[in-house]
A and B are shown apart, each in its own frame.
Chain A
Amino acid sequence: MSDSHAIATAEAGHDHGEHPAYLRHHFVSLEQQQETASFGMWLFLLTEIMFFGGLFTAYLIYRNWYYPAFVAASHTLNIFEGSLNTLILITSSFTMAMGVWCAETKRRQGLIISLILTLILGLGFLGVKADEYHEKYVKHHIPGHTFSPQGFIHPDQEALKGGEKPLAPDMAAKTEVYFSLYFAMTGMHAVHMIIGIALLCGMLWKATRGAYMDGNIAYVENFGLYWHFVDIVWIFLFPLLYLISRHQ
């Protein structure tokens, strides 16, 4: 048996000259390469859903157990900043979608502008988030040894006027679970934003040097999917942490 004896000799279905340089050697066609990249990204997002799924499960369970604490704690969140951040992220998803479209239609200027806008909005989101975290720090709402549930046992005048009722000390202590989940969930989300922003910077740098104008836009498309995914996670976090039980 000869050494390099393949079982069937397929007629080479393609002429190497016709292919763009970015077709990787192990793919037969560009279509196969693009489908593969996109499929891989969707699978990766599935793993991300499972990753956040653990946190959502914990949220669901503790919310059922410590309902009054979750309601009271969610009232202390800054609804204005939360809404602002939602607006910022949805807008950034739009600019990112514009970026993908510009890459598809080979508009270099448009791509660069879209990416810069996305970058600014992403950083803006993190800025607002940092301000919210600072507010939690001032109120002693960061879990750990600086945490204090006093504000829930003895609400101040303003809160009482707003219809807030004092919690029994044991239930008030459970607000720490709420804030643990708040920081774990928004923190994991912020980590994903930071990774996204780092990738975005790299992509922007490449775009200014003329990349993605030859039809090789799998990276831009996949990054777009990632960015939208991170956006969607926030779309779930915002109502769960800020909105539901707002009027109780």
Chain B
Amino acid sequence: MSTIVSLPDQSTARVPKRNYLTNENGLMSWLLTGDHKRIAILYLISITFFFFIGGALAGLIRLELLTPQSDLMASDTYNKIFTMHGVIMIFLFLVPSVPATLGNFLIPIMIGAKDLAFPKINLLSWYLYLAGGTMTLAAMITGGVDTGWTFTTPMSTHFSNTNVVTTGLAIFIAGFSSIFTGLNFIVTVHRMRAPGMTWFKLPLFVWAHYAASVLMVLGTPVLAITLVLVVLERTIGIGVFDPTKGGDPILFQHLFWFYSHPAVYIMILPGFGVISEVISTFSRKRIFGYTAVAFSSMAIAVFGFFVWAHHMFIMGVSNYAVLVFSLLTMLVAVPSAIKIFNWAFTLYKGSITFETPMLYAFGFMGLFTIGGLTGVFLGSAGTDIHLTETYFIVAHFHFVMVGGMLMAFLSGIHFWWPKMTGRMYPEKISQLAAVVTFIGFNLTFFPQFLLGMLGMPRRYAAYPQEFQVLNVFSTAGATILGVGYLLPMIYLVWSLKYGQVAGANPWQATGLEWQIQSPPLTENFTTIPIVTQDVYDYEWLERQKEHEVTHVG
């Protein structure tokens, strides 16, 4: 199989002695670092930790659902398990996943800067994340929460006897970590670009993060105030959401989804960014319709703020509101489709190779498309009333979040692993892992579409006998999926010591990050680059190489 990987001669190549990892030593040099690359590594370690906790909880859920009766755990425990799974996966994994790791690492390098605009705030955001994460774990260990990740009132404010306040405050704190990340990215993209790096020379990865940052900055504070009101209602008994006092629980839904729908785009947009880079590199082509893809990110950010009530079609909002929000929901499918079509056209007549990041990217395109299209079903009010609160919803958002975002995350991790560590991951086994993940994922979540169509409700530990076969498929799939996630964990750690030396640009990619050594220096660039080439300009890269050969010769 053809490949574009070009590694330096392994007998002589060495990982550069001076780089951001070796620049300083000792624990304190990590805990007090201002270097965006080190903070990205800190984030990567912490989100991986929370991912595996959330994943273990998912495993318990699937194990319980293997049989129709609730036999592994009591219903109360099941409620707590799926709540903690949701809270951890959404707030502690998906929201920071790509932005806080790859985004943190790459955005300054991609735009030719030495660091993010506010290194200390960047570090603070990691500590806030850690504080939020620790509080969530504390809430879980001391009794858990059973409201679902949506903190639905009046369940959360009046009826639940679990740790709603601790978890609410934990999410409040973690939310600020997200706000600071977004704020840092926006200011960095505006003010820190290298000479010549105009807006339309920015890699699409940066555009996608810019759009996601806008959502983080404008959306998260609304979640913060909503959680404050829930906590105040639960502790001192104010009446903003309490119907017995004249408050309205639907207002809670509006405020909550005003953040939590855009949050879906906070999670997926950075994934779009990764896919754009990967598709371009492994098709050796400029992204088709670069401007359209860039603007579609911004369009998603704008439209994303006006569709929140499609989570509330059966909650007593007016029929006219349903009509308007249904229409707006259809509109947000347009920019997403623009992206998918443009990636497909980029592949057309490209010189495609099938390295691991590309395999994950293909997985992303297929699964995200299914996830997105089923979203259109759910956006149409009629079908939504039949399908909402069933496993169809669960399957839909897992196709987008796990099939989409997690695939994109793994694609990005593999793609930039040589840049972050200076070493290649083992190619064959990682291709296997990508395939295993894809198969496991489909086996887990496709049956859930069918279950939903048949009417199996979500969030119950027990279910009627006739749903068992599909549930067994799903649980079997989850086991395979678990293997698919453990494999990268193992071989990526292995590669830190035994991987082949990657050299500066193993993929022959065009981004600024590939033109510097791997792993990069602490200051990224010895001199600030002046950008003259266009974005995704592979001819420019060829000329650079020719020049280098003649220069050496």
Contacts and interface: CB of A to CB of B under 8 A. Distances in A.
Interface of A: 1-10, 12, 24-26, 28, 32, 35-36, 39-40, 43-44, 46-48, 50-55, 57-58, 61-62, 65-66, 69, 143-145, 173-174, 176-177, 179-181, 183-184, 188
A168 B482 CA distance: 61
Interface of B: 16, 113-115, 117-119, 121, 179, 183-184, 186-187, 190-192, 194-195, 217-222, 224-226, 228-229, 232, 236-240, 245-248, 251, 254-255, 258, 503-505, 512, 515-517, 521, 523, 525-533, 544, 548
A62 B529 CA distance: 56
Contact of A6 (B121, B240, B251, B515): B515
Contacts of B232: 184
B186 A180 contact: no
A50 B218 contact: yes
Contact of A180 (B179, B226, B245, B530): B245
A57 B191 contact: no
23 contacts: A4-B16, A5-B516, A6-B527, A10-B527, A25-B115, A26-B113, A36-B118, A39-B190, A39-B191, A40-B121, A40-B183, A47-B218, A53-B225, A57-B251, A58-B229, A58-B251, A61-B251, A143-B237, A143-B245, A177-B240, A177-B245, A184-B228, A184-B238
Main secondary structure, interface of A, reads helix
A62 to B, nearest CB: 7
A144 B195 contact: no
Nearest to B113: A26
A40 B222 contact: no
Given A25-B114, A57-B255, A36 B187 contact: yes
A6 B526 contact: yes
Nearest to A143: B238
A143 B528 CA distance: 59
Contacts of A9: 527
A47 B548 contact: no
B226 A54 contact: yes
A7 B248 CA distance: 59
A54 B183 contact: no
Contacts of B531: 7-8
A174 B246 contact: yes
B225 A51 contact: yes
Contact of B515 (A5, A28, A54, A55): A5
A70 B217 CA distance: 32
B517 A3 contact: yes
A7 B217 contact: no
A173 B239 CA distance: 11
B251 A47 contact: no
B128 to A, nearest CB: 14
A183 B238 contact: yes
B255 A46 contact: no
A43 B186 contact: yes
A173 B238 contact: no
Contacts of A145: 237
Contacts of A58: 229, 240, 251, 255
Nearest to B17: A3
Contacts of A35: 191
Contacts of B218: 46-47, 50
B234 to A, nearest CB: 11
A26 B119 contact: yes
A145 B521 CA distance: 61
Given A4-B521, A40-B118, A52 B245 contact: no
Given A39-B191, A47-B217, 19 more contacts: A4-B16, A4-B516, A4-B517, A6-B526, A6-B527, A25-B115, A40-B117, A43-B186, A50-B221, A51-B221, A53-B225, A54-B225, A54-B229, A58-B255, A177-B240, A180-B238, A180-B239, A183-B238, A184-B229
B246 A48 contact: no
A126 B326 CA distance: 47
Given A40-B118, A54-B222, A173-B245, A10 B529 contact: yes
Contacts of A40: 117-118, 121, 183-184, 187
B10 to A, nearest CB: 15
Contacts of A183: 238
A53 B222 contact: yes
Contact of B239 (A28, A52, A177): A177
Contacts of A177: 239-240, 245-247
Given A4-B526, A10-B529, A51-B222, A26 B195 contact: no
Give the one of B218, B220, B523 with max A CB within 10 A.
B218
Contacts of B186: 43
A184 B240 contact: yes
Contacts of B191: 32, 35-36, 39
Give the one of B179, B221, B229, B533 with max A CB within 10 A.
B221
Give the one of B187, B224, B515 with max A CB within 10 A.
B187
A143 B515 CA distance: 62
A26 B115 CA distance: 6
B521 A7 contact: no
Nearest to B244: A173
A12 B525 CA distance: 12
Contacts of B16: 3-4
A235 to B, nearest CB: 19
B221 A8 contact: no
Contacts of B192: 26, 32, 36
A87 B387 CA distance: 56
Contact of B246 (A2, A26, A54, A66): A66
A221 B72 CA distance: 59
Top-6 shortest CB links A-B: A180-B238, A144-B237, A51-B221, A26-B115, A54-B225, A26-B114
Contacts of B505: 1
A209 B518 CA distance: 44
A26 B122 CA distance: 14
Given A26-B119, A28-B528, A5 B504 contact: yes
B183 A44 contact: yes
A240 to B, nearest CB: 15
Contact of A1 (B113, B237, B503): B503
Given A10-B528, A174-B246, A1 B118 contact: no
B187 A39 contact: yes
Given A180-B238, A184-B232, A8 B532 contact: yes
Give the one of A1, A28, A144 with max B CB within 10 A.
A1
Given A4-B16, A4-B521, A51-B224, A43 B187 contact: yes
Given A8-B530, A177-B245, A48 B190 contact: no
